[in-house]
Structures are given as structure tokens and as C-alpha cells.
Structure 1
Amino acid sequence: MCILFATRSHPGYELILISNRDEFFERSTHDTCWHTNSSILSPYDMARTHGSTASKSEIFGTWIGINRGGRVANILNLRPADTLPNKSSKGPKSRGIIPFMFLNTNSLKDSFDNWNSFENFQKQYPDLTQSGDFSLFYGDINKKEYRIIDTYGQTFPVLDKDDGYSFVLSNNTFNINENRQWIKTKSGLQELQQMIKRTKNNCTDENMLSECFNLASTCTIPQEIRDETYHINPTVTYDTIFVPPLGNEDDEDVGLTSTKGKFYGTRSQIVILVSKDSKHVTYEEKVLHTSDTDILINSSSNPKSINKFQFDIE
């Protein structure tokens, strides 16, 4: 179950995003790179394509990205704990296309007002309701406007005073009753707030990156559960921020579009830091696993690869 931390309350940064992607390690994925005429910085999924056939020029889906104009987006599979077991999470269109529709825009020519609600987003991308269930966080750094929209047609302004300029979102609905919130989102928000207090007087990029990745790597799954297959206790992924490699049985439903390989867990981690003047971006990706055999060597403390980018917002 993926997770996104977002805050604008740190005194040293306009925006901090921390993202864990929980997936099957064998799912084909391209590391973060500049693409789409070097206008979008993101990883992208290669397991499900936009059209019926793949080509080198084809747009693939992503779960997180930022463009040179300062627009940012992160999509999560929406999988409430009370979802019916026989309800498919797959739609005819890849949900990963949704962030690209927003990121492939020019903020100087295309006002955020054209996208600032579920209804307006759907006017720009009519296939919005043809994807699998989702929650989408997106916004414009220059305008300091951010939204979450979801499959149910809901729109939530976020990163403002109403949510304390911070939130944590996983695969549950954003506005879920507090008594039904997952442990990982409730404890994650507390951990995020503590991290902000701890680093407010020491916020060099390197220190912040280290703190953010440490937060993203918080694991509360006991070792004895890690050694069991996922189906023994599937709710553990509702509890822990970092999901260690968990085995699964053939065709086991873990709430994803499809299964690929044996092991599921936190596959990659991404931190995005935006300077207080909203001009400079530091982006770092840690790819932990790209195959089942990686679990013998790699971990959150020993990632398979690290990709780092820095650029100025136009």
C-alpha cells in the first residue's frame, strides 16, 4: 500500500514530498528521468501502456512526477479496507496516465483553475473515470494551490491552514473518519511533524534528504510476519510505512492491477524538496528492488540505485 507525505509547514522549504511505491518487484519500471521533450521528471511504468501496442514514443503511466514549470502530481491506488473482495481495481485506462495529463501542461499558458476540481480535471481529461480507482494529489508550486481528487468525484483543497499545511495519504480515502484511518497514516503524520520540528534549525538538503528517507523507511512489521506469505496477514500493509519484501501466492489479490513475480513491498522511494523561494528543486529516487532476487542484496539502507536531480523552476 503506497504512501505519500506532503508538507508546506517546514520553515526551510516551500514543499516537501516523500513517496513510497509499494509494488511487485518484477513489474517493469523505468527509473526517474527527464522525458516528454525533457519537460517532465518522473519514473514511469512499463508494464501497462497507454494504447494497444507499445512504442518508444508512447506515454507510459507514472505515480509521481514534477515538470519544469513547477506542477507536481502523485497518484495512488484507492483501496479502502472495506472494498469488496471481488471488486476489480483495474479500469480500461491506466490510472498512471492521469498525472501525465496534468504534468504535460504549461502553467504560463494553462491556468490551474482549469484543473482545480474533479469536474474541471475531467473536462481536460474526459477519460478520468475510465481508470482504476484512484486518489490524485496534484498542484502548482508557483500558485501554492494543491488538490486531492478521487474516483468518487470528490475534491479536497490541501496543504493550507485547514490541514495544518501537511497531510499523509495512502490507499484509503482522504476524508476517512479518524476511527477508520489506517495506522500508517495516523502515525506517519505524527512522524512527519516530529521530523519538521527536529530539522527546523538544520535543514541543509543533504540532512533533509536523509531525514525524509529515514521516515520513509520506518517499518513496524515483526520479522516473524515478514517470513510469512502476504495472505497470512494482509492488513499489515495498512499499518507500516515501509513494507518489507512479502511473498505472495499465485493470483493473490493485493489491490493492484496485476501480479508479477513472487515478492511485493516497497519497491522505490522518492523525495522532492522545493526551496523556500519556490525556485529550486532537489529530487532524489532510491530504487530498492527491480527483481525478486534483489531482496538477497538490496534494502532501504542499501538501495540498488540512487538517482538525483536538481533544477530551477521556470
Structure 2
Amino acid sequence: MCILFATRSHPNYELILISNRDEFFERDTHNTCWHTNSSILSPYDMARNQKTSPTNSETFGTWIGINKNGRVANILNLRPADTPPNKSSKGKVSRGMIPFTFLNTDSRKDSFSEWDSFEKFEHQYPCLTTSGDFNFFYGDIKSKSYRIIDTFGQTFKVLDQNDNDSFVLSNNTFNIENTKKWNKTEEGMQKLKELISKTKNESNNNIILMECFKLASICSVPEEIRNKPYHVDPAITYDTIFVPPLGSNDGEDIGLTITKGDFYGTRSQIVILVSKNSKHVTYVEKVLHTSDRDCKTHSAINPKDFHQFEFEIE
């Protein structure tokens, strides 16, 4: 159950994004890189591709990314806690194509106002309703415009500096009533506020990055059951920000498109920092696991791979 932290309330940054991707470790995934004519910076999912015409070439989706023009996106599975056990969140079209479609645009040629609602986005990309169930955060850094849309056709304006300058999003609907909010999002919002308060006089990227990854690594799963193969209890993933390696039953549907391998948990962590003048981007990815074998040797404090990128928004 992935999670996204987003804020514009830090006095020294225009935008801070913190993302955990919770997945099966064996799922084929490419680490973050520049791709699509070096216009998009993102990892991408190699387990499910989309055939594109007229060349019939393969295009892979992503869950998070940013482009050189300052458009940013992050998609999460939508799996509300009261979802019936037999309700699948899978769709005919990979939900990873939603952020890819948005990031493969140029803000100098089309305005964000052409994308700023579910209906407008669907006009640009008709496959929204045939994609897997999703929560989708996206926006344009230069115009300071951000939205969340979801499978139910809802649109939410976020990060608009009107008592709405931070949020924590997971696999529940954004407007879920307070009594049904997951512990991880409630705790996450409190920890995000603490991070901002603690670092409000700090502009050193390395220190901010350290604090962001510390937040992304908060784990409430009891020590005695971490790193042991056992049946995944969905309630565990509703509670903990960081999901340690958890075993699952073969073929079990826990809201993901593909079940592959024996262990599921937080596979990678990404932090994106945007400077206060909306020009400079620092993008850091920690890849914790890429196979079940990595459970014994790698962790949030000892990631398997580390990638850092710096660039200027055009």
C-alpha cells in the first residue's frame, strides 16, 4: 500500500514530495533514469507494458516522475479498507500509463488548465475509465497548480496554500471521512508537520533529504514479525508508513496488478525537492530490494541502489 507525502509549506522549498512504493520485490522495474528523449525523469515498470501504434512498440508506465518542464505526477492503487474481498482493482490498461501520459506533455505548448479535472484529463486520455483503480496526484510546478483525481471521477484541488498546503495520500480516497482514515495517513500528516517545523530554518538539501527518508522509513510493524514469511494481513499495511518484507500466499490479490515472488513491502523510496524559486530540482531514489534475496542484505538504512539527479526546470 504505497504512500505519498506532499507539502508546499516549507519556507525554503516550493515543493517537497516523499514517496514509498510498496510492491513485490521480484516485479521487473527499471531504476530512475532520463527517458523519452531525455524529457522525463522517472523509474518505470517493466512488468506490464502498453502496445502503442502505429509502430507497435512497447511503452512502459511509471508510478512517479517529473519532466523537464516542471510537470510532476504520482499514482497509487486505490484500495479502500472496506473493499469487498472479491473486488479486484485491476484494469485492462496499466494505471502506470496515466502519469506517463501526463508527463509526456510540454507545459510550454498546452496549459495545465486543459488537464485540471477528471473530465478534462479523460478527454486527453480516454483510457482513464479502463485503467486499474487509482488515486492520482499531478501538477505543474511553474503554475503552482496541483490536483488529485481518482477512479470514482472525483477531482480535488490541493497544495493551494489555503489551509491545504500539505497532504498525505495512500490507497484510500482523498476525501475519506475521518473515522475511516488509515493510521498511516493520520500519523504521516503529524510526522510531516513535525519535519517541517524541525527543518524550517534549514536549507541544506542533504539534511532535508535525510529527514525525508527518515519519515518514509517509520515502521509500526512489531519487530518479532518483520522479515518473516507470513500471510499478509491488509490491516498491517493500513497502519505502517514503511512496510517491511512481508510474505504472501501464492496468487493472493492484495490490490496489485501482478503477484510475483514471495515478498512484498516497501521496494523503493523517492524524494523530490524543488527550490523556492521553482527552478532547481533534486531527485533522489533509494532502491531497497529488487529480489526476494535482498531481504537478508538490504533495508532502508542499507539500500541496494542509490540514485541522485539535479536539474533545472526549463
TM-score of the two chains, using structure 2 as the length reference: 0.97
Question: Is this contact kept in 2: 1:231–1:252, CA < 8 A?
Answer: no
Give 1:224 deviation, angstroms: 2.5
Aligned partners of 1:220, 1:162: CA distance in 2, in Å? 32
Alignment of 1:237-276 (within 5 A): 237-276=237-276
Aligned partners of 2:196, 2:56: CA distance in 1, in Å? 42
Q: What is the RMSD computed on CA atoms of the aligned residues?
A: 1.6
- Secondary structure, in 3 states, of the residue corresponding to 2:295? helix
The one-letter amino acid paired with 1:62 is T
Question: Is this contact kept in 2: 1:229–1:249, CA < 8 A?
Answer: no
* Uncovered stretches (5+) of structure 2, i.e. residues with no partner: none
User: How many percent of aligned residue pairs carry the same amino acid?
Assistant: 70
Aligned partners of 2:207, 2:269: CA distance in 1, in Å? 16
Partner of 1:283: 283
Of stretches 36-45 and 83-92 in structure 1, the one that deviates more from structure 2 is 83-92
Closer, same or farther: CA 279–56 of 1 in aligned 2, 3 Å: farther
Closer, same or farther: CA 177–282 of 1 in aligned 2, 3 Å: same
Partner of 2:307: 307
Partner of 2:45: 45
Partner of 2:10: 10
Question: Is this contact kept in 2: 1:5–1:17, CA < 8 A?
Answer: yes
Closer, same or farther: CA 234–228 of 1 in aligned 2, 3 Å: farther
Aligned partners of 1:209, 1:200: CA distance in 2, in Å? 13
Partner of 2:66: 66
Give 1:57 deviation, angstroms: 5.5
Partner of 2:34: 34
Aligned partners of 1:163, 1:60: CA distance in 2, in Å? 37
Aligned partners of 1:234, 1:107: CA distance in 2, in Å? 39
Cα-to-partner distance string for 1:225-258 (whole Å, 9 max, x where unaligned): 3255453632110000000000111112221112
Partner of 1:180: 180
- Secondary structure, in 3 states, of the residue corresponding to 2:58? coil
Give 1:88 deviation, angstroms: 1.3
TM-score of the two chains, using structure 1 as the length reference: 0.97
Partner of 1:191: 191
Partner of 2:223: 223
Closer, same or farther: CA 45–12 of 1 in aligned 2, 3 Å: same
Aligned partners of 1:2, 1:60: CA distance in 2, in Å? 19
Aligned partners of 2:232, 2:151: CA distance in 1, in Å? 29
Aligned partners of 1:226, 1:233: CA distance in 2, in Å? 13
Give 1:89 deviation, angstroms: 1.3
Of stretches 157-166 and 12-21 in structure 1, the one that deviates more from structure 2 is 157-166
The structure 1 segments of at least 4 consecutive aligned residues displaced by more than 4 Å after TM superposition are: 227-230
Aligned partners of 2:199, 2:57: CA distance in 1, in Å? 42
Question: Is this contact kept in 2: 1:74–1:137, CA < 8 A?
Answer: yes
